Amino acid sequence: MSVRASRARRIDPRALAASGLDWLAQRRHGTRVFSLVRIGYGATTIFMLLVNLPVRQRIWGAEAAYTWDLFMQTSLAGGQPSLFVLSSSALYADVLYFALLIAAILFTVGWHTRVITIVFFVLLWSLQARNPLATNGGDNLSRIILVYMVFAQVGAHWSLDALRSRRRRVAGAPRRREWVLGTVAHNAALLACIAQVCVLYATSSLFKVQGEMWQNGTALYYILRTADYNSWPEVTALIYQWPIVVVGATYAAVFVQLCLPLALVNPWAKAILLPLVLGMHIAIGVLMGLPFFSLFMVVSDLFFLTDREVRLARVYVASALSRVWGGRPTPVPTVPAAVHTASAQAVAE
């Protein structure tokens, strides 16, 4: 052992494994990122439900072309449980719809987040299973991530739960102890979310490189010209007249998706790729008329950030805002990071 240790910079696999396991078991990571994703998913769902309010019965209710009988034969037979099986009535469909809306609001504001995450998932899943024709990739990703979020602490920040526990602490209540299994589950859930987003980008890009149109750089033209995704034909017609724009954006889309997982290991890759992928999703949302897909994707991209980066961004935004508004500059926190971490843990249930 001592001979090995004396050799310069030999990696000790046991120490490496131990530090990896301790990363999982000692402290909850990414609580700020999870809280941001909670707010993002919740708000996007509220937005989606409000926009679909006038047509809800035609998609998920009694007037749906995907009839209740068809749903019972296909979705249920396909192994997709849903609360919609209990009744075919329009009233019941409305009850579930508005229950989901309320759950989405409570999820966003972080009220009893542990329980509400499960309620929100069950109701959202039920709605999506009721009419599989009306879902898209953003729904698919968010409902998988929500399964992992059930195991995580997603209400530690910017939530009513955090407010309540801060009040309790101020009133002198003792700090709640963190359950080790809860910490392990939380960190495993964080890794699962990150891995799931990487699976999406890796799969999506690797299937694209096999396609002839992605290889010859014209794929974007065909996408922009497809009537189903052409909300602004005047604008897209201008875009696709420029070969350099079409070819550049086609290749960029593939390269950005292929390389995005590198953002996890290299800060330069992150600084370049993350803004590009955000730009890509915003362009998809606006030009192709897919706002909810776009929002779910943008929110999911937050898993590439760390809590430290979220904190830095918050300080930066706050000071920029105070400069713009000319008010009193927000004091930059001078408390050592370790204390921050401790207080973040204290907020934990």
Partner 1 sequence: MYQSRNKVNSPITWPRVAATGAAGVLALHFGFTFLHVAPANPVSQQLAPAVGLWMSPFFDQNWELFAPDPVSRDTGLLVRGMTGDESLGGFIDLSTAMLERKLHNPVPDNLHYTVSSASHNLLSARQDLIRDDSVLAAVPEAAESGLFLSEELLEAAPDSLRTAYERTVDAIVQLAINAVRAETGVTPDAVQVRVVTHEFPRWSERADAGVGEVAYSDTPWLTADGEEVIS
Which one, 217 or 318, has the nearer CB to partner 1?
217
- According to the binding rule CB under 8 A, does residue 57 interact with partner 1? no
- According to the binding rule CB under 8 A, does residue 225 interact with partner 1? yes
- Quickly list H helices, 52-179: 56-60, 68-71, 90-109, 113-130, 137-149, 160-170
Q: Is 5 left (phi over 0), alpha (psi -120 to 50) or beta?
A: alpha
The answer to whether the beta carbons of residues 112 and 163 sit under 8 Å apart is no
The answer to whether the beta carbons of residues 330 and 142 sit under 8 Å apart is no
- In sequence order, the 6+-apart residues with CB closer than 8 A to the CB of 247 are 217, 218
Q: Which of 241, 312, 333, 343 binds partner 1 (CB under 8 A)?
A: 241
Q: How far is the CB of 188 from partner 1 (least distance, A)?
A: 4
Q: How far is the CB of 139 from partner 1 (least distance, A)?
A: 9
- According to the binding rule CB under 8 A, does residue 265 interact with partner 1? no
- According to the binding rule CB under 8 A, does residue 218 interact with partner 1? yes
- According to the binding rule CB under 8 A, does residue 131 interact with partner 1? yes
Residue 36's H or E segment, with its range, is helix 31-51
Q: How far is the CB of 89 from partner 1 (least distance, A)?
A: 17
- According to the binding rule CB under 8 A, does residue 258 interact with partner 1? no
CA distance 292 to 248: 26
**Distances from the Cα of 313 to the Cα of 185, 238, 318, 332, angstroms:** 27, 36, 8, 12
- According to the binding rule CB under 8 A, does residue 84 interact with partner 1? no
- According to the binding rule CB under 8 A, does residue 3 interact with partner 1? no
- According to the binding rule CB under 8 A, does residue 279 interact with partner 1? no
- According to the binding rule CB under 8 A, does residue 214 interact with partner 1? yes
Q: 100 to 129, contacts with partner 1 by CB under 8 A?
A: 125, 129
**Residue 342: both structure tokens together:** 């401790």
The answer to whether the beta carbons of residues 130 and 71 sit under 8 Å apart is yes
Q: How far is the CB of 11 from partner 1 (least distance, A)?
A: 10
The answer to whether the beta carbons of residues 92 and 69 sit under 8 Å apart is no
The answer to whether the beta carbons of residues 61 and 93 sit under 8 Å apart is yes
Q: Which of 91, 170, 171, 212 binds partner 1 (CB under 8 A)?
A: 212
Query: Which range binds partner 1 by CB under 8 A, 34-42, 105-113, 155-163, 197-205?
Result: 197-205
Q: 286 to 345, contacts with partner 1 by CB under 8 A?
A: 286, 289, 291-292
- According to the binding rule CB under 8 A, does residue 137 interact with partner 1? yes
The answer to whether the beta carbons of residues 46 and 108 sit under 8 Å apart is yes
Q: Which of 102, 144, 259, 278 binds partner 1 (CB under 8 A)?
A: 144
Q: Which of 188, 252, 276, 282 binds partner 1 (CB under 8 A)?
A: 188
- According to the binding rule CB under 8 A, does residue 255 interact with partner 1? no
